[in-house]
Chain A
Amino acid sequence: MVSAVALLFSSCAADRTLFLSSGPTPRVEDCMILQQSTPTKFVCNGKTYTSVQLSDIRLGKGADKKTQ
């Protein structure tokens, strides 16, 4: 079981992206949901972001902007 989990997390780069946190910050998996709404609001490192903003950051579309 342990070896299977270890294999899961260490096999290849694609798996790392799939299961481990990576990419530009802030990342949604490191954030806390503040309010499930349209769009959903998260707090990351004390700043508030919408799901759209976090998506833009991950995709390199926008700057690191907080909503409030």
Chain B
Amino acid sequence: MISRKSNGAVKGARWLATTAAVASIFTTIPAYAESNAELQAEVKALITKVNDLEKKNQELEGLAQQVKIIDRKLEVQQETTTAKQTDLEKQVAAIKPAWKSYMDNFQNKFRLGMLAYFDYAMYTRTGFGPRFLENLNPPGPGNNYYNSFDINRAYINTYYTPTDDWTFRITPEIYKATGAQSSNASSNDKNGTTTGVGSNLDGSMNFRLKFAYAQYSGLWNSVPTLKGGTFTMGAQQNPLLGWEEDFTQYRFVYLAPWNYLGLSSSEIGLQFAGPIKLGGGETTYFDYAAGVYDNGNFSTPEQTNTKQVMGRLTAYPFGSSYRFQGFGVGGWWNYGWGNTTPDQSGLTGPLKGKVAQFERIAAMLSYATEQWNLLGEFDYGKNAFQVGNLFSGSGPQDAFGTPTGPAVTKAGAFGNTGTGGTASCAKTACYSVYDTYGPQTAVYNALLNNGRTRQVGVDFLGRYHIPGTKFSLFGVFQWMMPNDNVRGNDPLDFQRVVAGVSYQYNEYMRFALDSQNLLFYHNQESMPIASAASYNYVPGSSFNGRLLPDKATTKPFAYNGTIPFLVPRDTHAIFLNMELSY
């Protein structure tokens, strides 16, 4: 507005000047004759004034234009400021508390779950043998109808996936400890010189790490045939047992065959695993897992300067459209050394079970549909089943350092005559062969821990879903010869039979009612001491502080007898299992 007013004033002044100039010309015509020179001078002066006014007018127009430009700039700045303020207001309105942003991000990358196995078990007939499930340790013979509610084990599953290719998993396990009874003086604790404290370890629920690993899944992203393969470091699933437990689907009810024999389900080491899809299609033709691991495992410390290797390869000759689907042919191999320190592993001794090199093999045929599956397995082992495995459920005290039965202190008992190179029971108490498990356990040690054992077994595992119901039938048959090298019948040959029905309550809960049985199927038998000695049973040696039966030929105490009652008693149990998985 100011510029327009200025412009009008300038124009008015111009016209006024021009009019005045013309008027002055006409009024001065009569005087023209008097002085032409004066007129010309006045005209010139007027023209000069007009020119000056025109210049000023141009200057004013220029100033007005500048004012216009400044006005426009101010408008643009105001518009920009308004837009920025609007954006800022929007941003302020959209701002979330820092903790909420963190939690949203965390939630997308973090998974927390739990898995718990509960059971009620009634042992209609108790006996010594491997555990039916982890952390179950029922009493031995003579405790029929022992029963218990068990929190078998509980896992807290935590997964963290910071990127698409990396997964970190930590799975603590809560399990029932078996360590020491408070009445056992040797295992209680001492404070100072006179104070004692009872152990509270036995039966307590302990906490340990079952799985803890970092897994990279982007290794083969650029290779379509191998895509999906993983590289895992840490405490992770065993290449065989992880596959087999998912195949059979009843980890909460029974142990897979090699797990029942003592193979750990969690190994600490490095592992490659994944499917092989020929041509990069959707169909799987091979499934593999292989790695190098400690000879110890998640529940035992590593002691060796060697490592064990194991690998599994499952082929699906007709292709598998999802995991396990269709006909599969598989093999698994494990090679390692006993978990002992280097300064012990080289020592020579009669029983090398714990220090011996071991080997395990499984050859498998499988078929799986969504409604039923069947797995047949042939097992071969070398030094892979020892007394510790035989009595992982429960065993005689003699296997754990305490002699059972009455001590024999008279001279000449069971071949320990004190003559002819034998020891005397009068000096050192002897084992009887009756009412005890001592000599029998010594024979078991000789048969299984001699460093030259060979295991052979056959297993069948299956499941069938009853159509239209929430029930499935399942079963296991395991036949194992713990030492195929024993001449004649090995008293420890056994069969395990599990059969039951499961009920799928919902996506997170399952129940199973089943019968689990361990059958040492040979008739009761004895073994001549001479035969036992050929497996590194040492006649007359000290075992748990007592002398074992000897073979004496000197009369009147000649004893060329046998170790009787070598076939352990069977175990029969009825289980009600429950699985809670979320």
A residues sitting closer than 8 Å to B (CB atoms) are 9, 18-21, 28-40, 43-46, 48, 51-52, 54-55, 58
Those 8 A-B pairs whose CB atoms lie nearest each other, nearest first: A38-B113, A51-B507, A38-B157, A29-B504, A29-B470, A32-B370, A55-B507, A33-B249
A-B contact pairs, 13 of them (CB 8 A): A21-B469, A29-B504, A30-B465, A32-B371, A33-B249, A34-B246, A36-B581, A37-B113, A38-B112, A38-B115, A44-B370, A46-B321, A58-B506
Interface centre among B115, B322, B324 (most CB of A within 10 A): B322
B157 touches A37 (CB 8 A): yes
A39 touches B582 (CB 8 A): yes
In angstroms, how far is the closest chain A Cβ from the Cβ of B448?
32
B470 touches A54 (CB 8 A): no
Give A18 to B471 CA distance when docked, in angstroms: 11
The answer, yes or no, to whether B12 is at the interface (CB within 8 Å) is: no
Contacts of A44 in B (CB 8 A): 370
B469 touches A39 (CB 8 A): no
B370 touches A21 (CB 8 A): no
Interface size on B, residues (CB 8 A): 31
The answer, yes or no, to whether B111 is at the interface (CB within 8 Å) is: yes
A36 touches B370 (CB 8 A): no
A28 touches B159 (CB 8 A): no
In angstroms, how far is the closest chain B Cβ from the Cβ of A6?
13
Contacts of B245 in A (CB 8 A): 36
Give A48 to B469 CA distance when docked, in angstroms: 21
The answer, yes or no, to whether B508 is at the interface (CB within 8 Å) is: yes
Please name the residue on chain A nearest to B113 by beta carbon: A38
In angstroms, how far is the closest chain B Cβ from the Cβ of A19?
6
B323 touches A51 (CB 8 A): no
The answer, yes or no, to whether B368 is at the interface (CB within 8 Å) is: yes
B370 touches A45 (CB 8 A): yes
Please name the residue on chain A nearest to B252 by beta carbon: A36
Contacts of B468 in A (CB 8 A): 20-21
Contact with A along B465-491 (1 / 0, CB 8 A): 100111100000000000000000000
The answer, yes or no, to whether B251 is at the interface (CB within 8 Å) is: yes
A19 touches B112 (CB 8 A): no
Known interface pairs A35-B323, A37-B157; A51-B581 also in contact (CB < 8 Å): yes
B470 touches A48 (CB 8 A): no
Main secondary structure of the interface of A (DSSP, over half): mixed
B322 touches A19 (CB 8 A): no
Contacts of B249 in A (CB 8 A): 32-33
Give A36 to B580 CA distance when docked, in angstroms: 11
Give A44 to B371 CA distance when docked, in angstroms: 10
Contacts of B157 in A (CB 8 A): 37-38
Within 8 Å by CB of B469, from A19, A33, A35, A36, lies A19
Contacts of A30 in B (CB 8 A): 370-371, 465
Please name the residue on chain A nearest to B246 by beta carbon: A35
Given contacts A28-B507, A38-B112, A40-B507, 8 further A-B contacts (CB under 8 A): A20-B469, A32-B370, A36-B245, A39-B113, A43-B370, A51-B508, A54-B507, A58-B506
In angstroms, how far is the closest chain B Cβ from the Cβ of A25?
12
Known interface pairs A29-B469, A32-B249; A48-B115 also in contact (CB < 8 Å): no
Give A1 to B548 CA distance when docked, in angstroms: 55
Contacts of B323 in A (CB 8 A): 34-35, 43
Contacts of A21 in B (CB 8 A): 468-470
Please name the residue on chain A nearest to B468 by beta carbon: A21
In angstroms, how far is the closest chain B Cβ from the Cβ of A38?
3
A46 touches B322 (CB 8 A): yes
Contacts of B371 in A (CB 8 A): 30, 32
Contacts of A58 in B (CB 8 A): 506-507
B246 touches A20 (CB 8 A): no
Contacts of B471 in A (CB 8 A): 19
Give A36 to B72 CA distance when docked, in angstroms: 70
In angstroms, how far is the closest chain A Cβ from the Cβ of B5?
72
Within 8 Å by CB of A43, from B112, B322, B506, lies B322
Give A9 to B470 CA distance when docked, in angstroms: 11
B111 touches A55 (CB 8 A): no
Give A9 to B325 CA distance when docked, in angstroms: 31
Please name the residue on chain A nearest to B504 by beta carbon: A29
In angstroms, how far is the closest chain B Cβ from the Cβ of A5?
11
Give A55 to B508 CA distance when docked, in angstroms: 9
Contacts of A9 in B (CB 8 A): 469
A31 touches B370 (CB 8 A): yes
In angstroms, how far is the closest chain A Cβ from the Cβ of B300?
24
B507 touches A33 (CB 8 A): no
Contacts of A38 in B (CB 8 A): 111-113, 115, 157, 159, 582
Please name the residue on chain B nearest to A47 by beta carbon: B322
Give A28 to B322 CA distance when docked, in angstroms: 17
Please name the residue on chain B nearest to A55 by beta carbon: B507
Q: Which of B109-156 contact A (CB under 8 A)?
A: 111-113, 115
B370 touches A28 (CB 8 A): no
Contacts of B469 in A (CB 8 A): 9, 19-21, 29
Give A29 to B465 CA distance when docked, in angstroms: 8
Contact with A along B489-507 (1 / 0, CB 8 A): 0000000000000001011
Contacts of B368 in A (CB 8 A): 32
Interface centre among A32, A34, A36, A52 (most CB of B within 10 A): A32
Please name the residue on chain B nearest to A42 by beta carbon: B507
Give A30 to B507 CA distance when docked, in angstroms: 11
B246 touches A36 (CB 8 A): yes
Give A30 to B466 CA distance when docked, in angstroms: 9
Give A32 to B463 CA distance when docked, in angstroms: 10
Give A56 to B465 CA distance when docked, in angstroms: 23
Interface centre among B111, B249, B470, B507 (most CB of A within 10 A): B507
Q: Which of B36-86 contact A (CB under 8 A)?
A: none
In angstroms, how far is the closest chain A Cβ from the Cβ of B369?
8
Give A36 to B370 CA distance when docked, in angstroms: 15
